[in-house]
Amino acid sequence: MELYSARDVERVLQLPRSTLHGLVRLGFVRPSRGPRGKYLFSFQDLIVLRAARALIQAHIPRQRIRRSLTQLRRSLPETIPMSGLAICAVGDRVVVREGANHWQADDGQYLLGLDVSVQNGILQMIEHRRARAAEAARAAERDRAIEAARAERSQSADELFAEGLRLEDVDPRAAVDAYSRCTEADPDNAAAWINWGRLLHESGDARAAEKVYRRALERCGADALLQFNLGVALEDLGRKEAALDAYHAAISEDPDLADCHYNLARLYESAGKTQHAIRHLGQYRRLVTRGRH
């Protein structure tokens, strides 16, 4: 059975590193461990991770997600079907399609939207599209939301933040604008700054994300999540020393931020500072183990 590293999963699923480790920490998947304790994910883990992210974004309770995905994983084949595998919502059921065969994984209401196939030995994941009528309705709803955002410049900070949340999946650029205007209305709203920077980073503009996080820290003061996200952006910009400083600032605010200890361990290991790496990896494992009990 082929296994995938955390970096492979981040690249294939376009999952931020912090989100990936958060899903593991919540117990949606239990990857095996490779050399030096690094995560190794199976093909089934990739499907479950993608489905978990979709359901979380749909605001489904975590306990319900865990039950649904546990049943789903039991139904998944050990090998990748060459004909392709699709997971989608049909009515109130989660249905899995393998070639011409369909089966119900568990009850659900949301389109998971995942196609998996293999071409020339490369794993590919392609999002399903809804029927044309549903797509047209979604596009119309998006246009109405954008027009409303433009027309209602006097919205409160809370309304702008809620608008950003609604727009993230349908129009990330409009969501960025909503979060930006939210911080203008309420400069102390750390959550709006965090979401603004995250969307910029996910769009591939780590430099713009860094600027947003630094502005937020100047305005909001010390905040563990802002510092952590800043560290991730700095890593992607190749500025490892600055990333280390940001991660240390984050755990000084929240020593139980497990993902931050993991990133510190990884950076110290790459720098040849083994003792520092071992210390932070040990702390990460203690926190993850504690979170599972």
Looking at residue 130, its pLDDT comes to 43
Q: What is the CATH number of the domain that holds 141?
A: 1.25.40.10
What is the Cα–Cα distance from 288 to 31, expressed in whole angstroms? Answer: 13
Tell whether 28 and 121 lie within a shared domain.
yes
If pLDDT is split at 50, 70 and 90, which confidence band does 245 have?
very high
Give the CATH number for residue 92. Answer: 1.10.1660.10
Render pLDDT for 80-114 as a digit per residue (tens, 0 to 9). Answer: 443 345 554 443 345 555 554 555 555 433 334 44
Note whether residue 114 is domain-resident.
yes
Q: What is the pLDDT of residue 87?
A: 53
Average pLDDT for 167-184: 92
In a domain, 140, yes or no: yes
Q: Does residue 6 contact residue 41 with C-beta atoms inside 8 Å?
A: yes
d(CA 101, CA 207): 46
Q: Report the C-alpha gap between 25 and 18 in whole angstroms.
A: 10
Q: Which domain holds residue 89?
A: 4-128
Q: What pLDDT score does 196 carry?
A: 95
Choice between 14 and 225, residue whose per-residue pLDDT is larger: 225
Q: Is residue 76 domain-shared with residue 171, that is, in the same domain?
A: no
pLDDT of 228 higher than 70: yes
Which tens digits make up the pLDDT trace of 16-69? 777 777 778 777 778 888 877 788 888 778 777 777 776 666 666 666 666 666
pLDDT score for 126:
37
Residues 6+ apart with CB under 8 A from 250: 224, 225, 227, 228, 231, 257, 260
Q: Is residue 288 part of a domain?
A: no
Determine the pLDDT at residue 68. Answer: 67
How many domains is the chain built from? 2
Q: Are residues 146 and 48 in the same domain?
A: no
Alpha helix stretches (DSSP H) within the chain: 6-13, 17-25, 43-57, 62-75, 132-151, 157-167, 172-185, 190-202, 206-220, 224-236, 240-253, 258-270, 274-291
- The sheet with strand 39-41 has its strands ordered as 4-5, 39-41, 32-33
Would you state the pLDDT for residue 289?
81
Same domain, 120 and 171: no
**Among 128, 150, 179, residue at a domain's last position:** 128
Q: How far apart are CA 75 and CA 83, in angstroms?
A: 17
Is 286 part of any domain? no
Q: How far apart are CA 186 and CA 191, in angstroms?
A: 11
Note whether 88 and 155 are same-domain residues. Answer: no
Residue 165 lies in a domain: yes
Q: What is the mean pLDDT of residues 260-289?
A: 90
Tokens of 1: 């059975």
* Residues 207, 124 share a domain: no
* Same domain, residue pair 221 and 107: no
* Per-residue pLDDT, 30: 81
Residue 191 lies in a domain: yes
d(CA 151, CA 144): 10
**C-alpha distances out from residue 64 to 17, 117, 233, 248, Å:** 24, 28, 32, 35
Residue predicted with more confidence, 84 or 180? 180
